[in-house]
Structure 1
Amino acid sequence: MFRLLTVLLVLWFLYLIREVFPPFIVGGIFAYLLLPLVNQVSTRFRLKPGLAVAIIYILIAGLIVGTSSWFGGAVAEQFTALVAQRNEIVISLVQQVSDAFHWNLDVEHTASDLIASLESSLGSPGEIVHVGGLLSKSLLAVLVCIVSSIYLVVDSRSVGLFMLRFVPKNQHENVIRLSSRMNVMLSKYVRGQIFLIILMSCVAYGFLHFVFHLKYALLIAILSGFLEIIPVLGPFFAISIATIVGVAQHGVQIAIWIILSYWLARLVEDYVVVPRFIGHAVQLHPLAIIFAVLCGEVMAGALGMLIAIPVAASIKEILDFLYPASGERPHATSPETTNPPTATVPLSGIGTVPVPVPTAEAKSTQTVDVTNIEVISTSEGQIDKTSNSNSSEKA
């Protein structure tokens, strides 16, 4: 009873401070992306993890500065122009729709109502105090994100060992197996999403700028790429934004061609690019994806929508591990192996952990795949360890 009450109090406290979590979550995602690269650089060039982190962050900062100097000016200019001309865009949109469908609308009155509705829901760009407060809060969040990601990468071993303290020793092998499966799944998902963002941004810019000659094509294309990471709703928002801007500039007739272009791009992405080059990292039913995205939006807004799919996929991996389908061997440790012989095995990002070694009577061969480390236990009680440095050592 006391343990249950403690858990409920902790959950209630976490709910009260939920607004603090977003920068730490984003920092954790960055750390997760950079940790394999840091380990590889540190191992290959024999550098300390802290020095490897510093070098990688300097290179990333240089890449961001270079990209910003190349595209940043054009994107900022288009964004400023879009905000300044928002009233003209809405008026032109209403006029184009009214003329196309022969509606007898009061264009000025309808447009002013739409603008007022948008500003009431999104906030007026002229609210300097609001913008200044939002900017300072965003800068603080970015700083916390960067600092937390650095600490999580440098202290990943300590964090991993700390988490293993709460796991019974006889369950370490199961935890390693489960974390390995989740790590493979999440790595494929994150890499795939980054690739799709870049691909969709380039494709959208290609037909928006060179085919339809839209203003703000670069801004809309980049936005379309980032909206790709929001399943179901993201592509719909991207199509809506591009269509509204296209109709306001070139009339209603262009809307069908913009929608068709996005639809064809999505078909190629879903049926050619993803299966052939990325693979389906998360095996979730479409209804489960929609449900997860909506739950994420309700619980944590935009950030919740971004992390809804990996969280749902992680939960599915845990359930599949604990309750395997019929015909699969359960992963739980049997009572007979509660205190088996153990060997110390290096775990990427954690350090060394004890892994049970089967006794000499074991006839089968077990493989524990931990990120880039393969632990093979044989009937003779030997352990072969293969790491990124391709070194082998008998336990």
Structure 2
Amino acid sequence: MSTPGRRDDATTAAPAADGAPGAAQEGAPAEPLPAPGTAATPRPGPVPPAVQAAAAWSWRLIVILAAVALGVWGLAVLKVIVVPVAIALLLTVLLSPLVRALQRWLRLPRAAASGIAVVLLLGLVAGLLTLAGQSIVNGVTELWDQASDGVTKLVDWLSEGPLHLGTADIDEWITQLQDAAASSADQIASGALSVGVTVGHVAAGTLIALFCTLFFLIDGRGIWAWLVGLLPRGSRERVHQAGRRGWVTLGAYTRTQILVAGVDAIGIGAGAAILQLPLAMPLAVLVFFGSFIPFVGAIVTGAIAVLVALVTQGWVSALIMLGIVLLVQQLEGHVLQPFLMGHAVSLHPVAVLLVVTSGSLVAGIVGALFAVPIAAVVNTVVLYLHGHDKFPQLGTHDHVPIRAKGHPVVDRAIAAAAEAESEADAARHEHGPARGTTAGDPPVGP
């Protein structure tokens, strides 16, 4: 019972029980409670919010970079397998239209059409290499004689030109070069051994690439279904749609790059033929394959063409060949690349240059070759997953291939996933809905 002039203990304890944490003391105004659904204003601490945000971003970036570095290291260790599989993907994108055309025109089964496409590809590559080899065999003798004449003219110019070098000085330089070559015989032998190992790796990689290309063409959809089936059920459809768009981007890049490389090879090869250079056909083939490396390949192959013209026919032909190379490169850089390649990969030229440079630093020629298609596919997939669809015309009518008929691996994976889902449903029915859900909520989880 309370008395006048004295407060009841229950009355004094009530505000502390009903108030927020750190309730106001007697005589102090009570702090207003935050509105429902809104976060309370953070109180200032010893670390400023900007530093906290910078630290949060920093450790996340460190984790991302570590994961990327670990992935690159794994790819480098398995490059003998990874590179042929990547080449097989590019060849599959290139040959898929031919396989569909053979199925439609000749009424062939997919396995037979895929085999014919691979055989035609091998015949085309063998024909190009044969033509280039014959040209090299026929022109190497003439090229060697002209190179010897060029070296003789260079020695005469050094002795009779403005440098006025004596014969003794020139002979001393030649002797030093011969001694250096003799002293590096061990290095040359080890280099030859490494070349032999590299040739073995190339042969093994070629077989792996052809094998994978054939099976990608025959049963690529079944393999993709197996890969998607390994993911949680809720993410399969989005991954499938993102993969479709990445595949379209890879196909557009491959076909466009072949067109650009063909234009470069025809232009520089025709210029070499007009100048009657002894190795016009090998130069055209070299330019074709070198053009698959943006910027770097065009510069290197063009420099080789100019050097051949200089050695065989002198400065005038070299300057004319340089003009032809620059003209072809201008056509590629200002017409083909912006309209064709820019539309295919949707990457700025500065981004392409930086990606090629980074790829060459990480993995050499292989990195420079695959840097642009990888960046283009990653760009398309990430944009789609973040709600920016580059190919809205594809739609979502082609759902994830849950079942591939006649593919036992996919069937077993689907059966295991279905069994796990049925067990999870039985467990949910037995124990009731999870906390925070209602009986009408959809099941959560894979």
TM-score interval for Structure 1 and Structure 2 normalised by the shorter chain: 0.5 to 0.7
Rounded to whole Å, the distance in 2 between the matches of 1:89 and 1:295 is: 41
Residue 91 of structure 1 pairs with residue 151 of structure 2: yes
1:75 and 1:26, CA in 2 relative to 1: closer, same or farther beyond 3 A? farther
Task: Report the CA distance between 1:237 and its aligned residue.
Answer: 0.7
1:266 and 1:49, CA in 2 relative to 1: closer, same or farther beyond 3 A? same
Output one character per residue of 1:325-381: Cα deviation in whole Å (capped at 9) or x when no partner: 7xx99x9xxxxxxxxxx998586x97899xxxxxxxxxxxxxxxxxxxxxxxxxxxx
1:306 and 1:85, CA in 2 relative to 1: closer, same or farther beyond 3 A? farther
- What secondary structure sits across from 1:280 in the alignment? helix
1:166 and 1:24, CA in 2 relative to 1: closer, same or farther beyond 3 A? same
**Which of 53, 61, 77 is the equivalent residue of 2:114?**
53
Task: Report the CA distance between 1:98 and its aligned residue.
Answer: 6.0
Output one character per residue of 1:87-110: Cα deviation in whole Å (capped at 9) or x when no partner: 738836955996999555666737
Counterpart residue number, 1:234: 297
CA contact (8 A) 1:96 1:251 kept: no
Between 22-31 and 69-78, report the one with greater CA deviation. Answer: 69-78
1:244 and 1:70, CA in 2 relative to 1: closer, same or farther beyond 3 A? closer
Question: Which has the greater radius of gyration?
Answer: 2
Rounded to whole Å, the distance in 2 between the matches of 1:33 and 1:138 is: 21
Task: Trace 1:222-261 onto structure 2 (pairs within 5 A).
Answer: 222-261=285-324
Task: Trace 1:107-186 onto structure 2 (pairs within 5 A).
Answer: 109=173, 132-186=196-250
1:261 and 1:316, CA in 2 relative to 1: closer, same or farther beyond 3 A? same
Rounded to whole Å, the distance in 1 between the matches of 2:100 and 2:303 is: 42
**Which of 257, 263, 266 is the equivalent residue of 1:202?**
266
CA contact (8 A) 1:125 1:131 kept: no
Rounded to whole Å, the distance in 2 between the matches of 1:97 and 1:180 is: 63
RMSD: 4.5
Counterpart residue number, 1:371: none
Rounded to whole Å, the distance in 1 between the matches of 2:71 and 2:279 is: 47
Task: Report the CA distance between 1:11 and its aligned residue.
Answer: 7.1
Rounded to whole Å, the distance in 1 between the matches of 2:222 and 2:376 is: 26
1:315 and 1:63, CA in 2 relative to 1: closer, same or farther beyond 3 A? closer
1:346 and 1:324, CA in 2 relative to 1: closer, same or farther beyond 3 A? closer
1:255 and 1:58, CA in 2 relative to 1: closer, same or farther beyond 3 A? closer
1:225 and 1:20, CA in 2 relative to 1: closer, same or farther beyond 3 A? same
Residue 30 of structure 1 pairs with residue 91 of structure 2: yes
Output one character per residue of 1:6-34: Cα deviation in whole Å (capped at 9) or x when no partner: 99988765543334322222223212322
**Which of 337, 350, 356 is the equivalent residue of 1:287?**
350
Output one character per residue of 1:134-169: Cα deviation in whole Å (capped at 9) or x when no partner: 444332222222112112222312211012113443
1:58 and 1:199, CA in 2 relative to 1: closer, same or farther beyond 3 A? same
- Percent identical residues: 24
Structure 2-normalised TM-score? 0.60
CA contact (8 A) 2:306 2:322 kept: yes
Rounded to whole Å, the distance in 2 between the matches of 1:274 and 1:9 is: 33
Rounded to whole Å, the distance in 2 between the matches of 1:39 and 1:283 is: 27
Instruction: Identify unmatched segments of 5+ residues in structure 2.
Output: 1-63, 411-446
CA contact (8 A) 1:79 1:219 kept: no
- What secondary structure sits across from 1:231 in the alignment? coil
Higher strand share: 1
Output one character per residue of 1:117-144: Cα deviation in whole Å (capped at 9) or x when no partner: 9x98xx8699765555444433222222
CA contact (8 A) 2:128 2:285 kept: no
Structure 1-normalised TM-score? 0.67
CA contact (8 A) 1:91 1:111 kept: no
1:114 and 1:285, CA in 2 relative to 1: closer, same or farther beyond 3 A? farther
Task: Report the CA distance between 1:309 and its aligned residue.
Answer: 0.4
Counterpart residue number, 1:393: none
Instruction: Identify unmatched segments of 5+ residues in structure 1.
Output: 332-341, 354-395
Higher helix share: 2
Rounded to whole Å, the distance in 2 between the matches of 1:111 and 1:280 is: 56
**Which of 365, 376, 386 is the equivalent residue of 1:302?**
365
Task: Trace 1:63-102 onto structure 2 (pairs within 5 A).
Answer: 63-78=124-139, 88=148, 91=151, 102=162
Rounded to whole Å, the distance in 2 between the matches of 1:126 and 1:11 is: 28
- What secondary structure sits across from 1:214 in the alignment? coil
Rounded to whole Å, the distance in 1 between the matches of 2:88 and 2:255 is: 16
Between 246-255 and 106-115, report the one with greater CA deviation. Answer: 106-115
1:24 and 1:257, CA in 2 relative to 1: closer, same or farther beyond 3 A? same
